[in-house]
Structures are given as C-alpha cells and as structure tokens.
Amino acid sequence: MRHVIAILIENEAGALSRVAGLFSARGYNIESLTVAPTEDASLSRMTLVTRGSEDVVEQIIKQLNKLIDVVKLIDLEETIHIERELMLVKIKTADKMRDELRSVVDIFRGKIIDVTPTSYVIEMTGTSDKLDAFIATVDKNSIIEVVRSGATGISRGEKGLHL
C-alpha cells in the first residue's frame, strides 16, 4: 500500500538526514520526499511517500515518531486528503505538433511557461497519477527533461497538522 506521511520536524541541521538515514538503515523504501520550512521558521514540513505492508508502515510511523526531532506526524492515508505534485516538462516541438500539444496541456490544466522556436516548458500540478497520465500521452521521443517535486499533501476540512 502507498502511504503519504506528513511530518513536522525541527528545522535543524541534520534533521533530514535522520529521516533519510532511518529509511536506509531499516530497509524501508522512500518513493518521494519533499521538505521545506513552514510559516513557523523553527519547523520544517516533510511529505514522505512510501510503500509497504500495513505492518511495515506501522513500524515506519513508530520509528519516525521515535526520532527526537520529529514533533508531529500524520499518515494522510487515514484522513480524507488532497495531494499535489508539481512537474516541469521540457518538450521538443516541431511546428506541426504545437497545436496538438497545446490542447493536451489545456486538458490537463497545465501551463506553457517558456517557449523557444524548438521547445516548450510546461508547468503542471496535480496528483502524481495525473502527472503520470500526462507523460504517457506525450511522445516519449520529444521529452527533453522532466522534473517533479514529489507529492505534498494536506487533509481536508478544518483539522490540520500543526503544534
């Protein structure tokens, strides 16, 4: 099962390596990991996507909680939540392909944010699935570069992950 875990962690040097080190030392897999400071400068928020059986994910959550720097965490899988990932894609565009590509980008609610005579840079956000789907519709040979942020997530409704 895929789990999205949101973590509030002390914004201190080494905090990230404690999380990354835990995963490599215990052989858990990390599908993606994003981290940035929050509105409270002393805290960072991480979103970690992992896969594992229920038992393994239970251990992962306990082990994460055990890290002294981890202040709070939730498994977003246990709440109704929203997930978003940002993707930038650079695509080779021959003249005749441009219209078609533009309409696909529209359908996926993406934006073209850079244009040269031979390329587009497309910005797109959405669930990781949606981004996968977009990549699948574009001709593989035309893709120059793909960069993805990894998933971030937040629960719906009034309740939130804060101190």
Partner 1 sequence: MELNGAQIVIQSLKDEGVEYIFGYPGGAVLHLYDAIFQQDDVKHILVRHEQGATHAADGYARSTGKPGVVLVTSGPGATNAVTGIATAYMDSIPMVVISGQVPSAVIGSDAFQEVDMVGITRPCVKHNFLVKDVTKIAETIKKAFYVATSGRPGPVVIDIPKDITAPDVKVSYSYPKKVEMRSYHPATTGNKGQIKKAIELLLTAQRPVIYSGGGVVLGEGSQELIELAHLLGFPVTQTLMGLGAFPSTDKQFIGMLGMHGTYEANMTMHESDLILAIGARFDDRVTGKLDLFCPYAKIIHVDIDPASISKTVKVGVPIVGEVKLVIRQLIDGLKEAKYKIDKKAAESWWQQVNQWRSIQCLEFDRNSRAIKPQFVIEQMYEVTRGEAFVTSDVGQHQMWAAQYYPFDKPRRWINSGGLGTMGFGLPAAIGVKLAHPDADVACVTGDASIQMCIQELSTALQYKTPIKIINLNNNYLGMVRQWQEFSYESRYSHSYMETIPDFVKLAEAYGHVGIRIDKPEDVRPALEKAFAMKDRTVFLDILTDRTENVYPMIETGKSHHDMKLRVAIGTTTDRELS
Instruction: Write the CB contacts of 159 (distance below 8 Å, at least 6 apart in sequence).
Output: 79
Site pattern 118..157 for partner 1 (x: CB under 8 A):
----------------------------------------
Site pattern 24..63 for partner 1 (x: CB under 8 A):
-x-----------------------------x--xx--xx
3-state secondary structure of 128: helix
The structure tokens listed for 124 are 């797109």
Q: Distance between CA atoms of 90 and 118, rounded to whole angstroms?
A: 10
Q: How far is the CB of 56 from partner 1 (least distance, A)?
A: 11
CB 92 within 8 A of CB 144: yes
2-31 binders of partner 1 (CB under 8 A):
9-10, 13-14, 17-18, 21, 25
Q: Is residue 66 near partner 1 by the rule CB under 8 A?
A: yes
